[in-house]
Amino acid sequence: MTMALPLRPAERLRTYASFVRLEHTLFSLPLILAGAFSARGAAMAPARWAVVLVAAVGARTAAMAMNRIIDRRLDALNPRTRGRELPAGRMRLPEAWALLLGGVAAYLGSCAWLGAWYLRMAAVPLAVFAVYPYLKRFTPFCHAGVGAALALSPLAGFAAAHPDLEMFSPVLWLAGFALCWVTGFDIIYATLDEVSDREHGIRSMVTWLGREPALRVSALLHAVAFACLVAGAGAILAAAPAPLPAWGWPCVGAALAGAGTLLFLEQRWAGNVDLAFFKVNLFVGFAALAAVLFARAAAGF
């Protein structure tokens, strides 16, 4: 039986926002900003910042819509996900495609405004977004696909703020941080679906290794993520044109300690995914951004 769709515009907008998980932009936005501020300069005009934001929201909308469309039949088989908008009938497939195309249009239009080089590179994230939903059908390393998608965020922020692409060493460390952090927390998230995934042949680190060994892999990835973040902040400080102020290391160290503590708590509370993933995890990106901003200020950029 098909559920009647609400006709009021406000209800449809809430459904669309839920479909693309608009609030999850909080994962990518601090990474984009960290990439933008990881090198000297980044003094962009307000209009350019606005276009970068539109590009980020457009890309995020396209990625989630693509994921939901590709996975709609799998979502219908999983008790946890069958209540999502497409399998539950709260949203029609043409609406999902319209959101996908709208997100792609906003993203590509923003890239075109930024310049021809950005438009040429725009296909790279779209290709990653299109490929990673299929990985769970073939490999337990599928979590790295989500990590790769989020690792593009600091790279995109850096490229938008620094068209000359100079001083790119720190942002590579930040991309490594994002890759390991997101891959690690996606493994934690996959523990919610262990039973359903085994039943339907979905591959994940959890179904391959078992829950506890998979969580150890997640912990290792988060340790590597923290090391990458420390290296990224260190690379910014190493580029300082003058000796660091007395407050530099203590402030950067405090921000790094905050990020490390959040990663530790995420692992400690991995059994409570709602707490670890949806609460603690939301603040990790902002802690990383704080470390970058303190390092940048201490370096005198």
Residue linked to tokens 């995020």: 60
Among candidates 132, 152, 135, 277, which has minimal Cα distance to 218? 277
According to DSSP, residue 280 is labeled: G
Coil/strand/helix, residue 84:
coil
Instruction: Enumerate residues 6+ apart whose C-beta is below 8 A from 282.
Output: 26, 27
Residue 12 has pLDDT above 50, yes or no: yes
Residue 1 has pLDDT above 50, yes or no: no
Q: How many CA atoms lie within 13 A of 217 on its CB side?
A: 22
pLDDT, the chain, mean: 91
Domain ranges for the chain: 15-299
Q: What is the pLDDT of residues 225-251, one digit of tens each?
A: 999 999 999 999 998 888 888 888 899
Task: Report the C-alpha gap between 277 and 15 in whole angstroms.
Answer: 22
User: DSSP of 118-177, one letter per residue?
Assistant: HHHHTHHHHHHHHHHHHHTTT-GGGHHHHHHHHHHHHHHHHHHH-TT--S-HHHHHHHHH
The whole model's pTM is what?
Answer: 0.92
Among candidates 148, 192, 164, 188, which has minimal Cα distance to 40? 164
According to DSSP, residue 191 is labeled: G
Give pLDDT, residue 280.
Answer: 86
Give pLDDT, residue 9.
Answer: 75
Among candidates 49, 288, 24, 27, which has minimal Cα distance to 171? 288
Task: Report the C-alpha gap between 90 and 97 in whole angstroms.
Answer: 14
Give pLDDT, residue 115.
Answer: 93
Residue 300 has pLDDT above 90, yes or no: no
Query: What band does 122 get if pLDDT is binned at 50, 70 and 90?
Result: very high
Give pLDDT, residue 294.
Answer: 95
Instruction: Enumerate residues 6+ apart whose C-beta is below 8 A from 274.
Output: none
Instruction: Enumerate residues 6+ apart whose C-beta is below 8 A from 58.
Output: 102, 103, 104, 105, 106, 107, 108, 109, 110
Fold of 15-299: Tetracycline Repressor; domain 2 (1.10.357)
Q: How far is CA 107 from the centre of its chain?
A: 16
Phi, psi angle pair for 8, to nearest 5°: -70, 135
